[in-house]
């Protein structure tokens, strides 16, 4: 199949590199810890991340109120704008729900708050078929007033945005990318081959970053970026520059962490525990129905973090403290 050509298409996607799917810090009593969130975004920028994604799955969006989501998006935009690099660091706001009208409203609000794009997950629970999925995303692209990244994660939503459906959507001028977490190599390969040249293909799982880049993709929306933003940015930069030996070294070194972030509990339970062990969070509190990591899993995670050099014997991460990015 010949790649789709769009009028006015650029030779490269606007979204390339590593984009951290930000966790949402909570206080011990379950309130959003805005100060901790701001510190984390600042650290991401200092570490050279290409973009941040507030209010996605890793950010526990299903348990955030509309007001909380809007405040987190606004805080991310404000924090990115503090530094001269603000033109380089993108804010991709999670706005997707299983209600098309609500998703359009959330996407319009993210546009008003200054987000660069919206991450729009496939509707969950109601399990629309391919025709319905296409209509949903087209409605958001038509009416949301913000470029959108289609988020395909069948393990969470129960429905797959297949290659044919996404490729039809990719002809829409407001569809600028896909976060692909289907786990299907065939599907991702087809999308990488046939999408318009200015539409980004981003891995939706850290362990798939290198394979997606090797297929001609453009980067990753990363959970591990919360823990190792500089390293994820370097992995993507090496691959995009054609330095596959360096990219493979990064992948091989951090693969155990990529996998550990999904062991012992659903995302973001393990990554929040890791950030607390690293001294980046005061508490790894999550909102029910999620529960914090239990003790056997926490001990295994701490041992891995120590082995990776992310935690000292006494706890905490030297590099973070030296940068002064976290109070």
Active site residues: 151, 179
DSSP string across 138-176? HHHHHHSSS-EEEEE-HHHHS----HHHHHHHTTSTTEE
How far is residue 269's CA from residue 283's CA, in Å, rounded to a whole number?
Answer: 12
Assigned token pair, 286? 């999550």
- Taking residue 46's Cβ as centre, other Cβ atoms within 10 Å add up to 16
Strand 200-203 and strand 219-222: the pairing is parallel
How far is residue 153's CA from residue 159's CA, in Å, rounded to a whole number?
Answer: 8
Kindly give, in sequence order, each residue whose CB lies less than 8 Å from that of residue 65, ignoring residues fewer than 6 positions away. Answer: none
């Amino acid at each position: 199949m010949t790649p789709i050509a769009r009028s006015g298409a650029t030779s490269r996607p606007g979204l390339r590199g590593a984009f951290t799917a930000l966790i949402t810090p909570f206080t011990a009593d379950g309130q959003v810890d805005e100060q901790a969130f701001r510190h984390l975004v600042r650290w991401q920028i200092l570490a050279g991340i290409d973009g941040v994604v507030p209010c996605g799955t890793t950010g526990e969006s299903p348990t955030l109120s509309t007001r909380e989501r809007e405040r987190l998006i606004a805080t991310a935009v404000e924090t990115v704008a503090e530094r001269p690099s603000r033109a380089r660091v993108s804010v991709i706001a999670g706005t997707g729900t299983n209600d098309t009208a609500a998703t359009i409203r959330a996407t319009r609000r993210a546009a008003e708050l200054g987000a660069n794009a919206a991450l729009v997950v496939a509707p969950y629970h109601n399990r629309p078929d391919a025709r319905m999925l296409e209509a949903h995303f087209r409605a958001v692209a038509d009416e949301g007033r913000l470029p959108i990244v289609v988020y395909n994660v069948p393990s969470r939503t129960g429905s797959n945005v297949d290659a044919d459906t996404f490729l039809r959507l990719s002809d829409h001028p407001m569809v600028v990318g896909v976060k692909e977490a289907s786990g299907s190599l065939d599907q991702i390969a087809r999308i990488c081959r046939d999408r318009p040249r200015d539409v980004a293909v981003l891995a939706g799982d850290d362990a798939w970053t290198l394979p997606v880049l090797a297929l001609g993709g453009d980067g990753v929306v990363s959970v591990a970026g919360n823990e190792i933003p500089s390293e994820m940015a370097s992995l993507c930069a090496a691959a995009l520059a054609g330095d596959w030996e360096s990219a493979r070294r990064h992948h091989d070194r951090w693969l155990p962490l990529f996998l550990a972030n999904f062991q012992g509990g659903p995302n973001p339970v393990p990554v929040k525990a890791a950030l607390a062990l690293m001294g980046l969070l005061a508490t790894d509190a999550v909102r029910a129905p999620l529960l914090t990591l239990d003790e056997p899993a926490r001990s295994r995670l701490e041992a891995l973090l120590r082995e990776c050099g992310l935690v000292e014997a006494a706890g905490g991460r030297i590099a973070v403290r030296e940068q002064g990015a976290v109070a």
